[in-house]
Structures are given as C-alpha cells and as structure tokens.
Amino acid sequence: MTLRDYLTDYLAYLEIERNRSLATIANYRHYLERFIAWLADTTGGVHPADITYERVRRYRLYLNRLKNADGTSLKRSTQNYHIIALRAFLRYLQKRDVATLSAEKIDVGSNDARHVDFLEPEEIARLLASTEGADITSLRDRAILELLFSTGLRVSELVSLDRDHINLERREFSVRGKGGKVRVVFISQDAAAIIRAYLAKRTDIDPALFVRHGTGRRAHADKDSLRLTPRSIQRIVKRRAAAAGITKDVHPHTLRHSFATDLLRNGADIRSVQALLGHASITTTQVYTHVTNKNLRDIHEKFHSKNTTARTS
C-alpha cells in the first residue's frame, strides 16, 4: 500500500474510532496531503518506509521557507500543526505494524507567544447595552452575547444548541465540544432571564435556540431550518461591538477569552477554568497568563513595597 492508501484509512479511523470532527479531519487531510506530495516530488517516495528522519528535517525546512498566496511565511504554529499531524499519522502506522519512521523521533517546535484579545468589564457592559430594546432581534442578540460571556461557549457549540438543551431553572446544561467531549456549563441569572424573554416572544416552531428573524423568511419554516450559522453569529457580534463603539476586533471567541479572563481575575484556579472551557490540555488554558502575570505583579507590590519603603525612609 502507498502512503495515500494509508492516509485514506487513517482519515476513516479518525472519523469512526477517534470521533474527530469533520473540520479536524479536513485539516489533517490538508497537512498530510502536503507532506505526501512533497515527499513524492522531492524524493520519489510513496511508501511508509520512505519516511526518514533526514527527509522530515528537509520537509521542515521547506515549511519554514514556504510562502502563502500573499507572500507571507507560514506562522510557526501552522508549521507545527503540519508536524503534529505527521506524528499522529506515524503513530497510526506503527499501531498497524507498518515499517516507518518512529513518531517519537520527531520533536514539535515551540510556538510563538500567542496574543489573546479580551474585553474589559466596561466594554462588556457597553456591548450588552448595545442590544437594548424589546423587539425580538434585540432580545435574541442580547441572549447570544449573555450566553457567550457567561459560558465561554465556542461559536460552533452555540449554534448547535436546541431549545430543549438548556435547563433555565437549574441554569446549566451539557454541551458536546471538540473531539466529542461532553462538559457541563453554567448560565448566569442575567443570561437565563434574557433567554427566557427571547423564547417567550418566539412564534416559530424551529427547535434551534437561536434563529433568523425578519420579513424575508416565513415565520414557520417546515423545509428550511432557521438556525443561525457560525458566520451569522460572527456578524451579529461584530455589528453589536461597532454599535457599542468598541474599536477592538471583536468576534465570538473574544467573549470566550473574556469569560476565562473574568474567572481568573476573580480568583478561579486555572484547572477549573480548563474544565469550564473544555480544554483537553492545561497547556491550552495557560495562554491566559496575561491574567496570572498581573496577579503576580499585585502580590509583588503588596508584599515587597514595605521593604522598599523602609529602605528609602
């Protein structure tokens, strides 16, 4: 079998046995097809045994020098995604007792420091205030913003919610996140109240929690779903941020970052935040060190300033 044959099997394995999302599978396909095409073009190798440490080293040089359509280089994180996918593929081949390079011989490089955008409490208040109004669209948009900020949901998780998924009395519900992992999220009182008001004003029978409204669509759709798409949510968030006079590039994930930042600022430990966000690894959650760094500064000033004052008096 050639590498392309094994790749087809591997993608099916990711979907069926590992329960990976279609988006993840598409990314792995892209990364691994690029490697296989490079290997065939530069070395003529088309079989697992043709993957060697030296060839992987040369491939990494190729990625580092590769240019995007706009002439920019691949981000370090993007290069690492290629290598992570390759290592996972090699582990799969080893599991099937296929002779190839050991995945353990390949190290993943360090990523560039990631910058996290989040909103300050005053900006959150302005964003929510931009939805004032009793009409159904304003209620819907307020409910979306409140739910994103009080739960830290990913936009894909938000749009998949149905009305009967949420328990507004207990103010909690389960959500299936990346990799099919289920976690419990909790809703603030404000979010529960606005969702209840929004649903009470709905007259359609669509099961989706958040739907399109307007004269351009039938109030009761029996063929087409009215469910909002991730792109629709992005447009709503950006439009409301602009109306609030927020100059930052605000998108749904900004509210997820703001949710995590708010928890840490108010004393939550990072392991709890990891669980609430649904991160598989604590390393992912540690991107919020901008908060813990600030706390360390406060501790330094609180406990170190006394000595400083004594020396200068």
Q: Given the structure tokens 């302005």, which residue do they identify?
A: 126
Question: Is the distance from CB of 269 to CB of 278 less than 8 angstroms?
Answer: no
Q: Which residues contact 265 (CB under 8 A, 6 or more apart)?
A: 291, 294, 295
Residue with tokens 């205030």, as numbered in its chain: 129
Q: How far apart are CA 208 and CA 140, in angstroms?
A: 12
CA dihedral 204, 210, 212, 218 (to 10 degrees): -10
Residues paired with 138 in a beta bridge: none
Give the span between the Cα atoms of 129 and 133, in whole angstroms: 9
| Closest-CA residue to 142 (of 70, 192, 103, 176) | 192
How many Cβ atoms sit within 10 Å of the Cβ of residue 218? 11
Contact, 113 vs 237, CB < 8 A?
Answer: no
Q: How far is CA 48 from the centre of its chain?
A: 33
Four-CA torsion 157, 163, 166, 171, nearest 10 degrees: 120
> Which segments of the chain does DSSP mark as H helices, in order?
3-16, 22-43, 53-65, 76-95, 121-129, 136-151, 155-159, 189-201, 230-243, 252-265, 270-277, 282-285, 289-312
Task: Point out the residues that are catalytic.
Answer: 154, 178, 253, 256, 279, 288
Taking the CB of residue 196, how many other CB atoms lie within 10 A of it?
14
CB 91 within 8 A of CB 103: yes
